Amino acid sequence: MIPALSQVCTLPAPLEQEIEDYAAGQCRAIEIWLGKLETYLESHPLDQFLSLLARHEVAAPVASFQGGLLTSQGDARRVHWDHFARRLDLCRQIGVRTLVVANDAAPPLDQQTFDRLRASLTLAADRAADAGVRIAWEFQARAGFGNNLQSAASLLADLAHPNLGLCLDLFHFYTGPSKHEDWQYLTPENLFHVQLSDLLGVARELATDSDRVLPGDGDFLLEPLVARLREINYSAYVSIELMNPQIWQVSPKSFGEIAMTALRKVLGQASHPA
């Protein structure tokens, strides 16, 4: 398990400062927040970003997130898929191996929409494979379909596409109808990426992304997940993903140091990863 931090945790911070400060806190891998990077690239060449990563010895193996692909129709669908194509090219140039695709299957769900979702997942995986990128589909707690780990894993098993796997966001696991027995559905073949956060003193039915706190600071049971990751010998990235406006007020340097300490504690890594 390789610890990483998502750029969304310090979204308002200047990107160059963020990378430098994360590196100072011994963060060696980031989960790119694509919207932030795209804004940066409007006024900076891509080579400058690549040089920034190289100078601070920070990898960028994962990017989040692509939406709008699965159940959109008409002009909106064309816009989203064109954007997806540009992002795949960007991921290829950076060396991003895994792209998180959000589950946009909003309720209510009918058979036609479900069939479109299945076909879109397969098509997205095919196009990503051409760019050397894997698709990590993120099940989401309030989706019309794929709101729990069991359903998401079952669909991926049925599609059986080698370039299509799961993104497990612990927030969506706990705020949706997933059960602890569902950990058994995680396998070395289907788990592509893990995102951690926690929730403190908020009813799960009312929780929003802005309520996320650092893993270990809240009520989520983290040990069963970590135990399952060890059981399946999961060796890819585990990132912290927070969208909390209060945490955005913390400097990237302070956040990076605190977050990496918290993440390594959760993962059972004493100090620095091997």
Residue linked to tokens 């027995």: 181
CA angle 233, 192, 198 (to 5 degrees): 85
Q: How far is CA 90 from CA 32, 44, 157, 162, in A?
A: 11, 14, 29, 22
Beta-carbon count within 10 A of 37 CB = 20
Q: What does the pLDDT look like over 102-143, one tens digit per residue?
A: 998 888 889 999 999 999 999 999 999 999 999 999 999 999
Domains of the chain and CATH, by start? 2-267 (3.20.20.150)
Beta bridge pairs of residue 2: 237
> Which among 17, 43, 28, 107 has a CA at the least distance from the CA of 71?
107
Q: How far apart are the first and last CA of the chain?
A: 10
Would the pLDDT of 23 be above 60? yes
Q: Residue 156 CA to chain centroid, in angstroms?
A: 17
Strands 191-196 and 237-240: parallel
What is the percent of the chain with per-residue pLDDT over 90, rounded to a whole number? 93
Whether the Cβ atoms of residue 2 and residue 30 lie closer than 8 Å to each other = no
- Choose the weakest-confidence range: 26-40, 103-117, 126-140, 166-180: 103-117
Residue 270 has pLDDT above 90, yes or no: no
How does the average pLDDT of the chain come out, rounded?
A: 95
Q: pTM to 2 decimals?
A: 0.95
pLDDT single digits (tens) 200-251: 999 989 999 999 999 999 999 999 999 999 999 999 999 999 999 999 999 9
62-77, pLDDT tens digit by residue?
A: 999 999 999 999 999 9
Would you place residue 269 in the very low, low, confident or very high pLDDT band (cuts 50, 70, 90)?
confident
Would you say how long the chain is, in residues?
274
C-alpha dist (Å) from residue 219 to 167, 238, 248? 21, 19, 21
pLDDT at 273: 43
